[in-house]
Copies of this chain bind each other. A is one copy, B any other.
Amino acid sequence: MVRGRISRLSVRDVRFPTSLGGHGSDAMGGAFPLQHTDPDYSAAYVVLETDAEDGLKGYGITFTLGKGTEVVVCAVNALAPHLLNKDLGDIVGDFRGFYRQLTSDGQLRWDPRKLVSCLDFRYITDVLTEEEAYEILRKGQVGKKEREEQMLAHGYPAYTTSCAWLGYSDATLKQLCSKALEDGWTRFKVKVGADLQDDIRRCRLIRNMIGPEKTLMMDANQRWDVPEAVEWMAKLAEFKPLWIEEPTSPDDILGHATISKALVPLGIGVATGEQCHNRVIFKQLLQAKALQFLQIDSCRLGSVNENLSVLLMAKKFDIPVCPHAGGVGLCELVQHLIIFDFISVSASLKDRIWLHLLVPSYISTCARMCEYVDHLHEHFKYPVIIKKASYMPPKDAGYSTEMKEESVKKHQYPDGEVWEKLLAAQVN
């Protein structure tokens, strides 16, 4: 059993000056230069200390884009009183209660009964009850050993977003794409939505480079209104994208459903979820047939628990989960969730999703996969390991969240060494 109490919570504002290189740029900025055109990938980095004899510590991050990270730090501090002096045994003994407590003002043994006891089914019992969730996990025990071995040998399939950020020149794009092909990547994502002619040129360039058999996805980062999304994608259909990601406001469930309905006959699915803040939004996206690919984000959803309830609902609706990753540490965290999904929930890497009923030739390309961005992994104590375009299962204990202390110190905002220099340069 877990022993000890949480004795200290510290939270730090850690920022990496990624805006200097144009990494992470997408269509959201447009004429309003406050979003995504100049992201400094950042994190509110939390360390929990305990009085346990073995010196047990916990590490958590929330991914942010720079400005405003201090607000997240403030929110973490506001929640601290609910954690300090809490007995670890009490938390693990009633994980659901503790979770609801935290989300109304985790790692454990993965036993189905215990696991569902950690999830908060409030507001989702109309699509998934505790008993149904248990049944999914119980069935997931069949063939589990083989799937574990498969993961250890081959890893979980990944796709790369690193080649085609909106801020990259065609030359950079070509160079990165060649390199990715050499490294064995077979699935690529391109940012679209700022300018149609640009999109056509860039998509043609990438499709020509990767050939007709490899998989291409597109990401509009919420750029369009609903009718605009349909029109724009009709013009990009010739490049055979598997999905269009975030075509409109991430809050617009019914809008995504309308777009899905219009694009399925073109063989294009809708992917969304990285901005969805809780299980209730995902429940509705599934109910409304608003997506064909569900993209959890390990940091946006509050905790492992909330992510698990979404994995289970996706299984019930037969929708493949293809997580959002990148940012700071999102790959490190979400690899645990998606490998668990394969071993214990979905039990599948290929799905006959309903999109394919209409366009049978697309079946073979519709593998499950997890996003990968080759970025900032060097700051983590247990960075992801990618082999042959796949996530290799992490073998260290924990959620791979711990950062190197040196990286934290250097990038702490505004007084770390990196920021002291950059801010001083701004003043001069």
Contact = CB atoms under 8 A, between A and B. Distances in A.
A426 interface: no
Contacts of A78: 67-68, 70-71
State how many copies of this chain the complex holds: 2
B34 A104 contact: yes
A253 interface: yes
A32 B35 CA distance: 37
Interface residues of A, number: 43
A34 B258 CA distance: 38
Contacts of A251: 277-278, 280-281, 284
Contacts of A70: 74, 78
A105 B252 contact: no
A125 B280 CA distance: 25
A278 B71 CA distance: 20
A361 interface: no
A82 B68 CA distance: 13
Interface in A84-120: 97, 100-101, 104-105
B225 A126 contact: yes
A226 interface: yes
A172 interface: no
Given A78-B71, A123-B255, A32 B249 contact: no
A105 B284 contact: no
17 contacts: A32-B100, A32-B101, A34-B104, A35-B105, A67-B105, A68-B75, A68-B78, A71-B74, A122-B225, A124-B225, A125-B227, A126-B225, A126-B258, A251-B277, A252-B283, A253-B284, A254-B287
